[in-house]
Structure 1
Amino acid sequence: MTETSLAHFKRHRFPAEIIAHAVWLYYRFPLSFRDIEDLLAERGISVSFQTVSEWAAKFGVKFAHQLRRRSRGHFADKWHLDEMVVTIKGKKYWLWRAVDTNGYVLDALLQSRRNKAAAMRLMRKLLKDQGTAPRVMVTDKLRSYSAAKSQLMPGVEHRSHKGLNNRAENSHLPVRRRERRMMRFKSARQCQRFVSAHGQIANLFLLHRKYLTAADHRQLRAHVISTWREIASSIGA
């Protein structure tokens, strides 16, 4: 264990390495807080699932913020936008999501409406965060996208077809799996906080393995893990 790994976050008695590992387990795999408690216990680390929950909520957003800053400007210029329904305490919400053509999550935004105003809010956020407009935008046939795009990005090519948007639809699957594992989201705030962190952390570990040799995959995975540890060690509390 290196000197860096022994660093502590302020006001936390566990080393930063352990906290970062617990947060990584939660956002990287479809595990519950109790699952992570057991995994840590097997390694001789006694920590409650409530503490793991607090770590995930506090540090997940911070790690995601660092990853978002690093990745700005590195996404493809073809964006796929889509929305899925999420039911929270009997109320229907819409989770709007944007990914690039390589499957990297650009952003996810939970909203109570599925209309032009909601589409515009997502697009404004994307333009602000990415700093540039896409070359091509791909959506399903929801007319709200066309109305919002014509006002915010009139010069961008828009392809509206259900069959062209599988990239965005597939990006919803990890969240659906987590939603089932968590027995639904407990609040809109919890849902937004989770998807904001989950998308950026998932981007870091999206390696497109089928295009890599075994040696290249191991090298890239080692680099990704090193990046994660670097980010975790640089976060204060």
Structure 2
Amino acid sequence: MIQFQNVTKTYNKDVQALTDINLKVEKGEFIFLVGPSGAGKSTFIKLLLKEEEPTNGNIIVEGKDTTKISRRKVPFYRRSISVIFQDFRLLPNKTVYENVAFAMEIIEASSKEIRRQVPMVLSMVGLSDKARKYPHELSGGERQRVSIARAIVNNPSVLIADEPTGNLDPETAWEIMKVLKSISRRGTTIIMATHAKDIVNEMEQRVIALEKGRIVRDEQRGGYEYEN
């Protein structure tokens, strides 16, 4: 599904953000990407989204070498990868329904497809009764659910969650994690960068720990803390 093959990313000739990264992610896996600030998590995500290019190595996504995708085809490549952000990034003047529909309008989906798909994903994230509400009328957890619905409405194969619970209280954070887990069970690969120790330890998913740009631990059913 996703492979990093000897991937190194160097900035300004001497700042090495990632060093010799090798890993394989299978379809439908739920992975926590952990590590201290500056460990390389953001660079990892940017490389996967093709916002940055590796200095060395190859990144394979669904059998395609992303380093060989032309700039013209990058928007099409990104349709298979969606991102959920910590700060929601909703359009304030659009309703919940319109925010989610907008993601489909961008890829020129038909009106019929939009009318069918949007209510379905709003139901999936528990927001069917909020379709006509505006972002300022929602709680933080509800806004994050809208951002999740928007991210999955075009059926991406990979969902990147960048600190999705960072602005939420613990109870709401767990509600969001249940939604993400249900999405993973449907076959979507999820890579979640997080500092949320309690969530990582409780969920016992695969954990990839980065430190100073290197993978220091890759553990199935892992925890946040490094083992002694």
Structure 1 or 2, whichever has the larger Rg, is 1
Higher strand share: 2
Structure number with higher relative contact order (C-alpha < 8 Å, ≥ 6 residues apart): 2
Q: TM-score, normalised by structure 2?
A: 0.30
Q: With structure 1 as the length reference, what TM-score do the two structures score? A: 0.29
